[in-house]
């Protein structure tokens, strides 16, 4: 007991582990809501769990479920998801040296998610960055996939999802995820313009297309400055 | 939902994840492009929120759902926890429907 207590205390004194302990329950809830929403929209439980394991990029999983169960063409949904995940390419340029080579690089690439990259970049030495990347990526993977499955099982027990207002949960979940990025003025302008474009083209375009048309809103964020932090520094 | 679409998204996402570590010694992507990609992704999500919140099969989805998402949006902007935002969205929509609002 004593040594267990000591181990717990030394784990708790590690900032990375503390931050992860705060993050993991929140992520489990996001994953469980994805599972529940998908199942109540008619996606088989195995398929949403499989999606969680092989895609392992939450935003695009929500988007895929929303667009495909909303009747969008599969090509539109895939393209939307890929655009959303394109940020992983610059991520890889930034943290690629932490992965090692050979099979480590193959496995480590799959664990590349926003949180793993953010935690890694917050560390100062190469060894600590490497450790933060792998621990975060692995911990969130073994949280994400079972939580999606569990949420799906709960969703199956619910019955008519609309009676519980679950159809509002998916857009609300995505809104909550993107609110922090909206504090940047050019991003907010682009998002508002995109939202208006999507709404006005909805009656005339096939399902899923208005979301793509919204990309024209990006023009309102131009010209793109380097980053808000650098603006302040200058 | 189409398993083929899932596999395509998974393969494409993995390719983009692996490309960085493989190519990092040969190219650099400018910070401007990196930001632009981030903004484009946010715009997609934003468009998804408004269409997913207000449209069902090409038609207006009804006051109940829009009301739920709007209330959730206010909470999210005020920094409420994710769980609360999602639960309130569902609860407001469910209560509005119970009250007979479309």
Pairing mode of beta strands B59-60, B55-56: antiparallel
Question: How confident is the model over B37-48, as a mean pLDDT?
Answer: 82
A-chain CB neighbours of B60 within 8 Å are: none
Residue entry with tokens 């590690």: A14
Cβ of A162 under 8 Å from any chain B Cβ? Answer: yes
Which of B31, B35, B51 is facing A198, going by the closest CB pair? B51
The chain-wide mean pLDDT, for chain A, equals 85
Does the bond joining A124 to the residue before it have cis omega, within 30 degrees of 0? no
ipTM above 0.85, yes or no: no
In the prediction, which pLDDT does A234 show? Answer: 34
Cβ of A164 under 8 Å from any chain B Cβ? Answer: yes
A136 within 8 A of A119, measured Cβ to Cβ: yes
CA distance A122 to A132: 9
In the prediction, which pLDDT does A45 show? Answer: 96
Asked whether residue A230 carries a pLDDT value surpassing 90, the answer given is: no
Question: How confident is the model over A71-97, as a mean pLDDT?
Answer: 85
Q: Each residue of B50-92: pLDDT tens digit?
A: 988 888 767 788 999 999 999 999 999 998 887 788 889 989 9
pTM of the complete model: 0.73
Return the structure tokens found at A65: 């479920």
In the prediction, which pLDDT does A57 show? Answer: 92
Contact state of B43 with A194 under an 8 Å Cβ cutoff: yes
Give Cβ neighbours of residue A10 (< 8 Å, ≥ 6 apart).
none
Report CA-CA distances (Å) from A160 to A42, A57, A163, B9. 11, 28, 6, 29
In the prediction, which pLDDT does A1 show? Answer: 62
Q: Each residue of A35-55: pLDDT tens digit?
A: 998 998 899 999 999 999 999
Cβ of A198 under 8 Å from any chain B Cβ? Answer: yes
CB-CB neighbours of A6 under 10 Å: 10
In percent, the amount of chain A with pLDDT more than 70 equals 92
Which of B9, B48, B58 is facing A202, going by the closest CB pair? B58
Question: How confident is the model over A168-176, as a mean pLDDT?
Answer: 81
């Amino acid at each position: 007991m004593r040594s267990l207590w000591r181990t717990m205390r030394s784990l708790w004194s590690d900032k990375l582990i503390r931050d992860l302990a705060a993050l993991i329950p929140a992520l489990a809830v996001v994953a469980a809501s994805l599972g529940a929403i998908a199942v109540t929209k008619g996606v088989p439980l195995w398929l949403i769990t499989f999606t969680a394991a092989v895609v392992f990029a939450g935003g695009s999983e929500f988007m895929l479920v929303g667009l495909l169960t909303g009747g969008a063409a599969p090509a539109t949904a895939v393209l939307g998801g890929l655009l959303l995940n394109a940020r992983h390419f610059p991520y890889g340029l930034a943290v690629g040296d932490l992965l090692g080579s050979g099979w480590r690089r193959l496995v480590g690439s799959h664990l590349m998610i926003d949180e793993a990259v953010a935690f890694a970049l917050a560390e100062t030495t190469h060894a600590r960055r490497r450790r933060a990347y792998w621990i975060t990526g692995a911990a969130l993977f073994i949280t994400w996939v079972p939580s999606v499955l569990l949420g799906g099982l709960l969703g199956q027990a619910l019955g008519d999802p609309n009676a519980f207002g679950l159809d509002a949960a998916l857009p609300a979940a995505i809104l909550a995820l993107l609110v922090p990025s909206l504090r940047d003025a050019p991003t907010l302008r682009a998002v508002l313009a995109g939202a208006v474009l999507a709404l006005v083209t909805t009656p005339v375009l096939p399902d899923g297309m208005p979301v793509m048309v919204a990309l024209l809103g990006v023009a309102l964020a131009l010209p793109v400055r380097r980053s808000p932090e650098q603006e302040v520094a200058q | 939902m189409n398993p083929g679409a899932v596999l395509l998204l998974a393969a494409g996402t993995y390719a983009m994840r692996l490309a960085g570590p493989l190519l990092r010694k040969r190219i650099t992507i400018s910070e401007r492009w990196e930001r632009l990609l981030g903004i484009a992704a946010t715009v997609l999500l934003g468009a998804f929120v408004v269409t997913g919140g207000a449209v069902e099969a090409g038609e207006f989805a009804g006051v109940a759902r829009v009301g739920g998402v709007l209330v959730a949006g206010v909470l999210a902007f005020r920094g409420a926890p994710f769980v609360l935002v999602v639960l309130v969205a569902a609860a407001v929509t469910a209560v509005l429907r119970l009250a007979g609002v479309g």
